[in-house]
Amino acid sequence: MDKIHIKDLLLRTIIGINDEERRNRQDVLINLVLHADLRPAGASDDIDDAVNYRTITKRIIALVENSQFFLVEKMADEIAQICLEDRRVKRVRVQVEKPGALRFARSVGVSIKRSRKDV
């Protein structure tokens, strides 16, 4: 299966369980791998045959920037659901990291995989 990579989408949001995390926006770093058959778009050179990753990314930005999740696990799951709304996307891997969330660590995060049967 072909893949579309969206790398290092850096957004700011309210995320976490501590009081300070609930008051102040934090950076989150998102990486996606969308699994889809890209042959129709490759053959036609027509956007209507392609996974419109720009539209997917805009929806993810709106979700994350306007959300107030407690857990990165929930954020990752919601992002996966957005990706799978495009019927061409068969599977997705979502990685969400919180840079600087742990002292002495560059970041902490989760990585999930979802398929059409999961939504």
- Phi and psi angles of residue 96, each rounded to the nearest 5 degrees, phi first: -125, 125
The residues assigned a catalytic role are 98
**53: helix, strand or coil:** helix
Sign of CA dihedral 9, 5, 77, 100: negative
CB atoms within 10 A of CB 48: 8
Dihedral in degrees, nearest 10, Cα atoms 109, 11, 27, 20 = -110
